Structure formats: C-alpha cells, structure tokens
Structure 1
C-alpha cells in the first residue's frame, strides 16, 4: 500500500502521485499534510530546502480548491521567478487529473498584461513573487480579497531579499479569516514577526531541529591564505573529478571573475548573477540542468529557487554576510535522501564564523587540508583508468582497427597503457610539478588567530597607511567599499577611513591584520601597485568599545546594508550595491544613498577639528613614503 494513501489524499491526487513515481512521503509531508487536510488552521512548517515542501502544501491546497468556482481562492508567494515557475509546474503536475483547476504564475520580467489576462480567465491558484504581486494589486489587476488560503514559501528568503513591506501590504489585502501556511528553512526575527502579526494559534511542524541543517549534508572547511583562494578552489575541483556543484560568491564581480578563470583553466563553468538578462539566465540554467556545466558560479540572490537534482557539492568560495544564508546554500545539495558535501574556503580571520554556523546548523565542520599535487595526480589517474574501463565500446570503430593496429605496432601492453593515460593526464603532472602545495600554507588549529611581530589581537585596532587616495578617484565611502570587497570583510570591519590626495588611512580589528597585509600589498589596481604599511599613529584615537567614527566625525553607521558592497539593502541581485561598475571596476556608487552620504569626503569642512588634526599629523609622517611609492612605479 502506498503510504500517501494513509495521509487522506483523494483518488485524483493519488493517481498523479503514482505517475510521478512517489512512493513514500518525506518527513515534512507526513507531518504537514494530515494537519492541513483535517483542520482549517494556520501552519508554521520549518524544514530545509529540498525536503519536499512544495508537495507538503501543494497536495492539501489542491484538495481544498473548489474547481466549480473560477475566482482566485489561493495565493502562493515565493522569492524568485525560478521558484515561482517551479512551484507552478509542480502544482500543475499534481492536479493533472483534476479538470478545471487553473494555476497562473505571476512574476517580473514577463508581460504583466498577459498575466492579468490569464487571471481574468479564471485562476483558482496564483503563484507570485512579492514585487510583481504588489504591482498588480496597485494597478487593480488582481483581486485577492476573498482568498481562503495564503502560502508563504521560503519565507526567510523573501524577507532576506527585502520583501518585508511588500509581504505585509499583500497580506493586509487578504481576508482576516483565511488560513496562512508559512514554510521556511529558518525562523529569524522578521519571519516570527510576520507569523505573530498575521497568524492565529498556528500549528507547528518542524523537521529536525529548528534552523538546523540537513543531516544528509557533510560540512568541511579549508584554511588558506586569501591570495590562494582561487587556487584552492581549482585543486578541490581537481580532487573531485565528478564534481557537479554550485560555487557561491558574494558579489557579481567575483562571480563573473571566478567563472571566467575556471573556463580559462579548462573547466565547464558559467556565471549566474543579476547582470545577466533573463534569456541568459535561462540558458545557463538549462545547460546546468543538462550537466553541460559542471560548476555553476552564483550569487546568493541569483541562486535562490534553483532546484537541480544530484548536486554533489556546494562550495562557499566566500561566506555570506548573513550567517543564516549558509543554511540555504548547503541545502542545494543532499536532497531527496542523497548525500552531499558543503565546502567552505576561509582565511584565519574568518575562523570565528565557523563556530557561529555550527551553532545554527547544529552540526560540526571537519577541518581538511587542500590536497597536494601528488594526491590530485593519483586521484585523476585512477579516475581516468576507471573511465577507460567503464567506457562502452562503439563497434563502428572496428573498421578502423587495422589502420590503428598498424600505427601502434611494436608497442607493449604496458607502453600502450602509459601512452593512452598520458594523453589526458600529462597536463596535471605538468601543472602540479611547477606549483607549490597549499596544504601547509595556512593550516592550524581552529582556535589559532593571526598575529604579527607586534602581536595584534582581536579587540585591538590597527591603523594602516595605503598609497591610494582622491587622485585615484576615491572618497572615504568608495575606499571603504573597495577594501571591504577586496578583503571579504564585514560591513563594520573597516572604519576610521581618511582619504588624502595621494594616500589614505584606515583601521581594522587586529585579527584582520595578516589578511590586510597579505592581500592588499602588491595588489594590482588598473596598473597601480598598492602598498600598505601599519601606521604608528592611532589616527584619531578611540577605543574598540567606543562608537566608531569615520574621518568625518559621524558615528559608524555608514554601512548598515547586508551586501559586501555595503550601504543599502536591495531586493534583488541586480539592484544591490556591487563592484561590477565604475571607472576603476571596483565600486559602483549607489544613487539611492542620501546626498549627504555621497558628497562628504575626507576634506569635508564638517569634519571635527580634532579628527583633521590627527590625520594631518599622520600625513606629515607618510607624505614622503607616498612620493617614494609613486616614483617607484
């Protein structure tokens, strides 16, 4: 007996389930479906991505729809176009034996007039992204005032993308007596606020522990120097020849750059980010689903809604700004009971984040070392041997065997094997012979923290001199963004930024000192070689515990956005602050910033006198260094 029959589903749904090949319900389906069928109740369901949440709400939703009534009875909100289309297609598959049930997808990037027409023809179920749904409500193109069910899928993702106001507005346009079903992987404060405001005594379903990660995913981290991050990614790919992965970067610029490097190095890779057109995104995803692409390099926003089977690895090339986002990244692998691996490439300054993630996912990371060149060559050699062994023979080659035997005549079996393997294998030997191993470059116990001869520790402020300034088209805000993005630092990790004509000063916590010196020294910025030194001057004073102040004397509130670009949270990847534009190809100014934020520079007359005096003192000590640095280029 099919276990779905025990959940109370009707015959039409059971027929569709049989066609789809579903045999046993997942845990979230087993827990949620009976509750939603037997009760008219609100529901909060916490379960990881890939655990079958769409069927968990889709089956009971379909069974509750009155197909004789052509009006809109249910609304499903999801964070992205991809997920919106995916849910729509699945609802249509589940309801294939229910005549008269119509489901319409509503999302940006397509004709709003066509979508409104499809709804007018009779759509009992609307699946929508919040932005487009709010637009349609504002234009009077849709009526959801009489719906009986509202479903929030991937609620934490929608709120993380900045849709809180839209969701509140949309829900306010629905009846008070409707049932709200909220499905989410985590329960951050904003999701809890939505539940409290719009739900009444909701039933609760939790798969695993609240906010925990999937048990089918193992977690590993590799400790490297910042300059070796790409080389580490390359070696991890080489040591997993059958890798089929999503590689996550924090910015569009890094996503494009990493994908281009992988392609140049011979990997089947592609970038997925908000600067791509919808046609380009669709093309990339089609190739990825068809496995023509082995490594998809993506930003978090662009990857939301990706549901591709059998992803073997998720690679965190850079950790996300919001630690909770890691849960969504790792949920791309280990789906449908299969195992997967989530890899994190980090530097010493980021080690503390591993413990934070462990607390959230309630699982431990395994620290591993980057495989050596010899180890990678052994792995690739055995992989090639197995590939040859498992290859099916195409007997059309038989006609050419006499000529081939003539060419290979005189070779022993051992010589022939060596030559066959060397055809594909020699490039690995050649590459790793001349490249150093990374395994010992930054290894150490997790509790280890980077120090310098001056023994800077976490909690100490370190002041730096850097040989770029306003002459290079930087103001304090742009320089801060550039340093943060180049070093993968958080929004408050760079402070007391003071920009002069040919040089500048900035501060970080002591734990970032090694990363700053290793990454920025020698960095090539459009032909300008960057030089960084530690300043002996504290640059305006102020303890670590006092409110941080940039050079202009304001409190440290200049970066409250979530992105690596700093400043202002956006709803979508294409609308967020990023480093893909601008004259230096490092930062793109956000025109939505208040004019007072954008126009202030380090020479502002509003800067307090004591702050200017301090930095002027520094200027005298480093002016000659800047001139020498200019002359040496």
Structure 2
C-alpha cells in the first residue's frame, strides 16, 4: 500500500500523488492530513518552511470540496504574490484528475477585472493575498460568506508584514460555522492572538519545536570589521564555487547596492526588493529558478514566498531585527530533505545577537573564519580540475586536432597541464596572493571557541570529500578515530566535493602526518598535507550544474572596468564568469 493511501486520501488525489512522484508523507502531512480528513475541527500547525505544508492542508481541502457546486467553499490567505501563485499551481496539480474543480489566484499586480471574471465563472477554492482580497471584497467582486474552510498559510509572515487588520476584516465576512486551519513556521504572540480570537478549540500539531530551525540546516557565523563585510561575502562565495544562495539584507537600498556590486565584480547576481515592478520580480525569480542567478540578494519581505528546493546557502549579510525572521531566512535552504548552510556575517558588537538566536531556534552556531587566499585558490583549482574531468568532449574540434597537436607537440603531458591551468588560474591566484586576513580576533563574549582557532593551530588538506560519502560531522568523527585524539582536537572541518580541510593544534602536526603517511581506505591512498593557509573556512554546499563563471581579477576593492550585463527589465543580473578574466567582486 502507498503510504499516502494509509492517510485516507481519495483515488483522484492518490493518482495525482503517484504521477508527481511523491512516495512518503512528510511529518506535517502525516500528522495533519488524517485529522483534517476525519474531523471537522480548527487546527494550528507549526512546521518549518519547505516541509510540505501546502499538501498538508491542500489534500484535505480538495477532498472536502464539492466540485459539482460552483460556489466558493475554501479560502487560502498567503502573504505574497509568489506564494499565492505557488499554492494555486500546487493545488491544481493535486486536483488534476478532478477537472470540474477550479482554483483561482487573487493577488496584486494583475488585472482585478480578469480575476473577478474567473471568480464569477465558478471557483470553489480561492487563494489570495490579504490586500487584494480586501479590495475584491470592498468591490463586491467575491463572495466568501458560504465558505466552509479558511486556511491562513505562513500566518506569522502575514502578521509580520502588517496584515493583521486585513485578516480580521476578511474573516469578518466569513461564516462563524467555518473551520480555520492556521499554518505557521513560528508562533509569535500575534499568531496566538489570531488563534484565540478566530478559532474554536483548535487541534495543535507541531513538527519539531516551536520557533526552531530546520534539522537539515547547519548554522555558522563569521566576525569581520564592518567595512570588510562585502569582501567577506565574496570570499565565502569563492570558497564555495557551486553556491546557489539567497543573501539577505535589511533594507532595499543595501539589497540593490550589494547586488549591483556583485554584478560589476562578475558574479551571477540579482536583487529582489519592493521597488521592483511585478514584471521585474517575475523575471528575476524565473532566472533564479532556472539557476541563471546563483546569488539572489533580497529583503525579507521580497523573499517571502520563494520556494526553490536546491538553495545550498543562506547568507545573512546583515542580521534581521526580529529573531523569528532569522528562522524564515534559514528555512530557504535545507528543503525537501536536502542539507543547507545558513551563514551570518557579523561585526564584533553583534556577536551577542547570535546567542539570542541560538536560544530561540535551539540550535548552536559554529564560529568560523573567513577563508584566506591560499585556501580559496586550492578550492578553486580543484573545482576547475573537477569541471574538466566531468566535461563532455565536443567532437566538433576533432578536425582541428592535427594542427593543435602540431603546435603543442614539443610539450609533455605534465607541461601541458601546467600551462593550461596557468592560463586559466593565474589571474585568480594573483588576485588572492596578497589578500589580507578579514577575521576579527579576540574573545567570543564568554563563549568557548573551537580548538584549532587562532595562533597555534594548523590547517590540513585531505583528499576525501562528499563523493566519498563524508559530510563535516562524519569526517570529523573519522579523523578523531584514526588519529586517536581528544573530543575537540579536530576542528574547522570543511568538506568539499573531492577534498576537505581540517585543523588541529600545532602540537599534533607530526602525529597527523605520520598516521597518514601510508594510510589507505578501501585500497585508496589517503593523502594529508599541511595547507599553506592555516585559517579556517566556510563549509561548502553542492549543487548540480556548473560553477559561477567570473570575468576579470582586479583589486580587492571595486574595479571600474567596463562590463556587459544582461537586463531583466530595469533589473540587472550578472553573467557567468570566465575564470580567465576577473575582477573582485520593501
């Protein structure tokens, strides 16, 4: 029996579920769906973004909707246009084999007349943003007086965005006999007030703990001087060549500035904020979903509703004012069962905020160091080699091979490899060879720092990584077992696809090198050597597709050379870089 069958879903939905490839219900789906199907009740469901909440309320809503009646029976309120459209599309997919069921999206930035026409034709389920729904009600273009179910999705975000009064007004036009299902990632007091005021003895389900972060997301922070924040951002990107990220800024102005600087410095970047037109926002999001943009710089409001499963990193360029907002930010990665990393760039005076966030999300942050130039060069060099290894041969060049061989016939294989990598890599190496240390040294507000940090620590390179089945935790355990060192003797473990880095205290260097002098794992020699750069680095994510291509290498400040960029309306997005030409980077 399909595990979704056990939840009590009907044949039409089960057929759609099978076609979409769903096999196992998520925790929130397993807890919510049977209750909502079998009981006429209100519900408060707390679960992180990306845990399958849409299906958790969507499946029961479709099952309980009379598709033969044309009246509106279900209303779903969501905070943003993007999320509104996403929910609508998902519900249409769930109801694919119920052709008479109509789902209509109501949101700002589109023709209200066209939306009213769709409602008039008969729409059993309406998905709406609060502002446009209010407008439709005031103009008497929609009737929600007979709905049986009202769903408040991402309730905490709607309230954070100032929709409390709108929600109250909208709910006043609905019948008291309806059932309300509230889904939220966090439970601030405003959400509690909504539940108390508009719900009748709701069933409460919680996946994880209230206000906690996703178990698939690791959290780390970097302490730099305020003036070096942008340089630190670029270093973190360069240390993770396959990065596919959302970068959060507090203001629209900072968002636009950071995105423009990244584009000028050759990164695939774009801004997403409230000053963009709806068409510009759509173009940016389309490019991001298609992986044409690898660094999406966004405000918190604009990023709400982003639903992209492959985001490897969330980078907090600036911390938010509200701790709950951090939970939403970090929830943009580590989705659909994948792992993700949430990075925070802070100044020394902001370190205490990290402790406050830890208490709320019930997860610890790892203090890490911005990687140095030598380590970034090593990472990029191996990334380039791996890209070459994976590249498919273009046989259209076969006709030119005799002439090419004639030009290169005097060189050995080793010399050709060196020349090729010199052409591709020299500018990158020259850019970073004199780079400064961006890390701020000093205490950590009374918190113990990890061993292997600062003076007396040695950094090592090891030729195993993700392809060998390691993540940072399993590699750390492996190293501690092999080296027979204490609990905290191995630190700053950074796992890349084909290789990794780790630190130990300087006193263990001889032992580490001796143990791995002739060490083999499954018949393969494991090579460990001291890295020329002893600083720690950020742990990298992995993404399908090629790495960011870069243009020119210049100074570590802004480079004023001319560059061509693609446009998305008035919104620019960066082009893929060529490693032979590069400059630094509501």
Q: Do they superpose with TM above 0.5?
A: yes
Aligned pairs for 1:66-465 within 5 A: 66-439=66-439, 441-447=440-446
Residue of structure 1 in register with 2:548 after alignment: none
C-alpha offsets along residues 154-183 of structure 1, whole Å, 9 cap, x if unaligned?
Answer: 000000000000001111111111000000
Question: Per-residue deviation at 1:286?
Answer: 0.8
Pick the structure with greater CA Rg.
1
Q: Distance in 1 between matches of 2:311 and 2:108?
A: 27
User: Equivalent residue of 2:414, what SS?
Assistant: helix
Q: Distance in 1 between matches of 2:427 and 2:155?
A: 47
Q: Distance in 2 between matches of 1:446 and 1:337?
A: 34
TM-score (norm. length: structure 2): 0.75
Q: Which runs of 4+ in 1 moved over 2 A?
A: 441-448
User: Equivalent residue of 1:121, what SS?
Assistant: helix
Preserved CA contact (<8 Å) 1:252 1:273 = yes
Moved more, 20-29 or 390-399: 390-399
Equivalent residues, number:
449
Q: Distance in 1 between matches of 2:335 and 2:190?
A: 27
Moved more, 419-428 or 118-127: 419-428
User: Equivalent residue of 1:256, what SS?
Assistant: helix
Preserved CA contact (<8 Å) 2:28 2:207 = yes
C-alpha offsets along residues 294-334 of structure 1, whole Å, 9 cap, x if unaligned?
Answer: 10111111111000121000000001111110000000000
Question: Per-residue deviation at 1:392?
Answer: 1.4
User: Equivalent residue of 1:351, what SS?
Assistant: helix
C-alpha offsets along residues 46-74 of structure 1, whole Å, 9 cap, x if unaligned?
Answer: 00000000000000000000011100000
Preserved CA contact (<8 Å) 1:268 1:293 = yes
C-alpha offsets along residues 555-593 of structure 1, whole Å, 9 cap, x if unaligned?
Answer: xxxxxxxxxxxxxxxxxxxxxxxxxxxxxxxxxxx9xxx
Q: Distance in 2 between matches of 1:51 and 1:442?
A: 38
Q: Distance in 2 between matches of 1:2 and 1:397?
A: 51
User: Equivalent residue of 1:220, what SS?
Assistant: strand
Q: Distance in 2 between matches of 1:235 and 1:444?
A: 23
Residue of structure 2 in register with 1:17 after alignment: 17
Question: Per-residue deviation at 1:446?
Answer: 3.8
Question: Per-residue deviation at 1:422?
Answer: 2.1
Considering Cα pairs closer than 8 Å and 6+ residues apart, tell me whether 1 or 2 has the greater RCO: 2
Q: Distance in 2 between matches of 1:353 and 1:131?
A: 33
Is 1:32 the equivalent of 2:32? Answer: yes
Q: Distance in 2 between matches of 1:78 and 1:201?
A: 23
Q: Distance in 2 between matches of 1:271 and 1:181?
A: 34
- TM-align CA RMSD: 1.3
Q: Distance in 2 between matches of 1:361 and 1:337?
A: 19
Q: Distance in 2 between matches of 1:304 and 1:28?
A: 20
Q: Distance in 1 between matches of 2:32 and 2:424?
A: 52
Residue of structure 1 in register with 2:44 after alignment: 44
Preserved CA contact (<8 Å) 1:369 1:443 = no
Question: Per-residue deviation at 1:423?
Answer: 2.4
Preserved CA contact (<8 Å) 1:225 1:442 = no
Is 1:65 the equivalent of 2:65? Answer: yes
Residue of structure 1 in register with 2:567 after alignment: none
Q: Distance in 2 between matches of 1:339 and 1:422?
A: 35
User: Equivalent residue of 2:4, what SS?
Assistant: helix
Residue of structure 2 in register with 1:56 after alignment: 56
Q: Distance in 2 between matches of 1:351 and 1:114?
A: 51
Question: Per-residue deviation at 1:443?
Answer: 5.0
Preserved CA contact (<8 Å) 2:149 2:180 = yes
User: Equivalent residue of 1:120, what SS?
Assistant: helix
Q: Distance in 2 between matches of 1:105 and 1:254?
A: 32
Q: Distance in 2 between matches of 1:353 and 1:156?
A: 21
Question: Per-residue deviation at 1:409?
Answer: 2.3
C-alpha offsets along residues 104-155 of structure 1, whole Å, 9 cap, x if unaligned?
Answer: 0000001111111110100000000000001111111111011000000000
Preserved CA contact (<8 Å) 1:224 1:345 = yes
Preserved CA contact (<8 Å) 2:81 2:107 = yes
User: Equivalent residue of 1:324, what SS?
Assistant: helix
Q: Distance in 1 between matches of 2:295 and 2:421?
A: 25
TM-score (norm. length: structure 1): 0.70
C-alpha offsets along residues 444-496 of structure 1, whole Å, 9 cap, x if unaligned?
Answer: 32438xxxxxxxxxxxxxxxxxxxxxxxxxxxxxxxxxxxxxxxxxxxxxxxx
User: Equivalent residue of 2:438, what SS?
Assistant: coil
Gaps of 5+ in 1: 449-589, 591-633
Question: Per-residue deviation at 1:432?
Answer: 1.0
Q: Distance in 1 between matches of 2:400 and 2:166?
A: 67
Question: Per-residue deviation at 1:99?
Answer: 2.3
